[in-house]
Chains A and B, each alone.
Chain A
Amino acid sequence: AQKITQTQPGMFVQEKEAVTLDCTYDTSDPSYGLFWYKQPSSGEMIFLIYQGSYDQQNATEGRYSLNFQKARKSANLVISASQLGDSAMYFCAMRAYNTDKLIFGTGTRLQVFP
């Protein structure tokens, strides 16, 4: 069975600082993808970054990077130089190749303060 765990219900970070949002996963499928989404207070789901299980390098997209540690089954999101607009819910998700389901963790609410 697939499972995504986000243990941080809420995080605070000061503007311009970096923050790490934790995500661990579980799957028996050797091929899978890991995703992070942002949900601002307006409610839409915004795709941020993707990491494939066979990718050798950590994914990066602008200020977002994914710290992928396959042996530990973790896929933490790092946001560098936080901005006030980064305040939102952040969801980690996984899609195993065989089941093809896209499942989500419970989310982490990030608040950026000046």
Chain B
Amino acid sequence: DAGVIQSPRHEVTEMGQEVTLRCKPISGHDYLFWYRQTMMRGLELLIYFNNNVPIDDSGMPEDRFSAKMPNASFSTLKIQPSEPRDSAVYFCASSPRRNTEAFFGQGTRLTVV
């Protein structure tokens, strides 16, 4: 398996623009997590899915953020409109089942100018 695949690896956008981050989890994994990493706040869990259903989105910072998982092999995290404080590395991770480790993608470095 190729592992968790995220795209794009880098994204630079202007404030106010819509940004969409993409993730393909490992095949057969039931759980998918989205994280944001910044120097100030560390690794924050934004939302996670179980069998394509959002279970907990309490970490999503604002209504500007939304996430979907239309099928078992694809998820998106959308920011609309983007702001400079959204600049961070966004990680997607998947795990096969409950109480197991998660495998991370390479991350998307987002810069909002």
Query: From residue B74, how far is it (CB to closest CB) to chain A in Å?
Result: 20
Quick one: which of A44, A106, A107 has the most chain B CB within 10 A? A44
Does B93 lie at the interface of the complex (its beta carbon under 8 Å from any beta carbon of A)?
yes
Establish whether residues A99 and B99, one from each chain, have CB atoms under 8 Å apart when the complex forms: no
Does B45 lie at the interface of the complex (its beta carbon under 8 Å from any beta carbon of A)?
yes
Establish whether residues A47 and B103, one from each chain, have CB atoms under 8 Å apart when the complex forms: yes
Does A73 lie at the interface of the complex (its beta carbon under 8 Å from any beta carbon of B)?
no
Q: What CA separation (Å) do A37 and B106 show in the bound complex?
A: 14
Within A92-114, the residues touching B (CB, 8 Å) are 95, 97, 99-107
Tally of B interface residues using CB under 8 Å:
23
Within B33-82, the residues touching A (CB, 8 Å) are 33, 35, 42-43, 45, 48, 50, 55-56
Does A43 lie at the interface of the complex (its beta carbon under 8 Å from any beta carbon of B)?
yes
Residues of A within 8 A of B31 (CB): 100
Q: A45-B91, A107-B42 are in contact. Are A102 and B106 (CB under 8 A)?
A: no
Quick one: which of A44, A100, A103, A105 has the most chain B CB within 10 A? A100
Q: What CA separation (Å) do A47 and B91 show in the bound complex?
A: 14
Residues of B within 8 A of A101 (CB): 45, 48, 56
Establish whether residues A97 and B98, one from each chain, have CB atoms under 8 Å apart when the complex forms: yes
Q: A43-B89, A44-B107, A45-B91 are in contact. Are A100 and B101 (CB under 8 A)?
A: no
Establish whether residues B106 and A44, one from each chain, have CB atoms under 8 Å apart when the complex forms: yes
Establish whether residues A100 and B55, one from each chain, have CB atoms under 8 Å apart when the complex forms: yes
- In the complex, what residue of chain B is closest to A43 when comparing beta carbons? B107
B104 partner, pick from A33, A45, A52, beta carbons under 8 A? A45
Q: A32-B99, A35-B101, A43-B89 are in contact. Are A104 and B106 (CB under 8 A)?
A: no
Establish whether residues B102 and A102, one from each chain, have CB atoms under 8 Å apart when the complex forms: yes
12 intermolecular pairs with C-beta atoms under 8 Å apart:
A37-B104, A43-B89, A45-B104, A47-B102, A47-B104, A52-B99, A95-B99, A99-B56, A100-B31, A101-B45, A102-B93, A102-B95
Chain B residues engaging chain A, CB cutoff 8 angstroms: 31, 33, 35, 42-43, 45, 48, 50, 55-56, 89, 91, 93, 95, 98-104, 106-107
